[in-house]
């Protein structure tokens, strides 16, 4: 797996695929002393479980993790590199990571799969399913799951309305788009977007929804660590 992409990818050659893993957040909702991506799950940093799935996907030309400036808790390893260019928001971290991919020689036509470091239960097969669904598409897409719970809008701690759940999906990651399109989309959308697809949608494009597993949770709340640990243990032979 190539980590340094120079010399620049020649024009007209087939698009390559890169994974970009933003891991520069502080995880304030997780109730942990430090950032949640560095909590131990089964004796291993949470982010290393995420990386273990990506480094097993043979189609990926590179895997790049974005950490906060000055953060030395994660070193480059087998099949992945680490760059300390994280920003104040997830969107800023992703935008900086895309710039770094381009600097390393990725072509604007290459696909980038952006994945939250905190979704540590992701499996190589799910990443491969997203690639298979999107690589011949003109826009790209994301893993997502149809909503099963009833959806409420809140106001002042009480239900303001029940919203129809039909046709509603929960967005997960990875989200897969062309490097140039995504850079342009994020530059236009600004820092407030919480996923890549919403920036792409703001350009008038319609990302593909690729049905995913409910196990692909983003570890967010204190109780999510025990859940993630239980799933990891259930997968052990």
Tell me how far, at minimum, the Cβ of 117 lies from ligand C5P, in Å. Answer: 4
Q: Which residue, 22 or 140, is less far from ligand C5P as judged by CB?
A: 22
Reduced to 3 states (helix: H, G, I; strand: E, B; else coil), residue 58 is coil
Tell me the CA distances in angstroms from 52 to 79, 115, 119, one per residue in order.
9, 13, 12
Give me the least distance between CB of 193 and ligand C5P, in Å please: 11
User: Which CB sits closer to ligand C5P, 24 or 130?
Assistant: 24
Smallest distance from the beta carbon of 208 to ligand C5P, in angstroms? 21
Question: To the nearest whole angstrom, how small is the minimum distance from the Cβ of residue 59 to ligand C5P?
Answer: 22
Q: What single string gives the DSSP state of each residue in 175-212?
A: EEEEHHHHHHHHHHH-TT-SSHHHHHHTTT--PEEEE-
Instruction: Please say whether the beta carbons of 173 and 199 come within 8 A.
Output: no
Pairing outcome for strands 40-41 and 44-45: antiparallel
Structure tokens that stand for 176 in this block:
């897969």
Binding site for ligand C5P (CB under 6 A): 22-25, 37, 66, 86-90, 93, 116-118, 218, 220
In the bound state with ligand C5P, the residue whose beta carbon lies nearer, of 131 and 219, is 219
Residue whose beta carbon is closest to ligand C5P: 25
Based on CB atoms, which residue is closest to ligand C5P, 64 or 200? 64
Whose tokens are 């949608």? That residue is 201
Task: Rank residues 118 and 176 by Cβ distance to ligand C5P and give the closer one.
Answer: 118
How far apart are CB 30 and ligand C5P at their closest, in Å?
A: 8
* Terminal CA-CA length for the chain: 27
Residues with Cβ within 8 Å of residue 112, at least 6 apart in sequence: 17, 18, 19, 20, 98, 101, 106, 176, 177, 178, 179, 182
CA distance 89 to 199: 14
- Cβ proximity to ligand C5P: between 93 and 107 the closer is 93
Q: How far is the CB of 122 from ligand C5P (least distance, A)?
A: 12
């Amino acid at each position: 797996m190539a980590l340094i992409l120079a010399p620049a990818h020649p024009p007209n050659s087939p698009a390559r695929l890169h994974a970009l893993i933003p891991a520069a957040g502080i995880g304030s909702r997780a109730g942990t002393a430090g950032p949640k991506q560095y909590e131990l799950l089964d004796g291993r940093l949470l982010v290393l479980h995420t990386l273990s799935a990506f480094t097993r996907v043979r189609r990926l030309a590179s895997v790049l993790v974005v950490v906060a400036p000055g953060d030395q808790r994660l070193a480059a390893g087998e099949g992945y590199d680490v760059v300390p260019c994280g920003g104040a928001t997830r969107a800023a971290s992703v935008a900086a990571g895309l710039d770094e991919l381009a600097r390393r020689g990725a072509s604007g036509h290459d696909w980038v799969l952006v994945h939250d470091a905190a979704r540590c239960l992701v499996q190589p097969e799910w990443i491969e399913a997203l690639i298979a669904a999107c690589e011949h598409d003109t826009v790209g897409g994301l893993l997502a799951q149809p909503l099963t719970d009833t959806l409420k809008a809140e106001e002042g701690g009480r239900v303001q309305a029940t919203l129809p759940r039909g046709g509603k999906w929960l967005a997960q990651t990875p989200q897969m788009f062309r490097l140039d399109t995504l850079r342009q989309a994020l530059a236009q959308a600004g820092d407030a977007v919480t996923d890549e697809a919403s920036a792409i949608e703001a350009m008038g494009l319609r990302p593909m929804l690729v049905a995913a597993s409910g196990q692909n949770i983003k570890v967010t709340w204190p109780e999510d660590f025990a859940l993630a640990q239980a799933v990891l243990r259930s997968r052990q032979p």
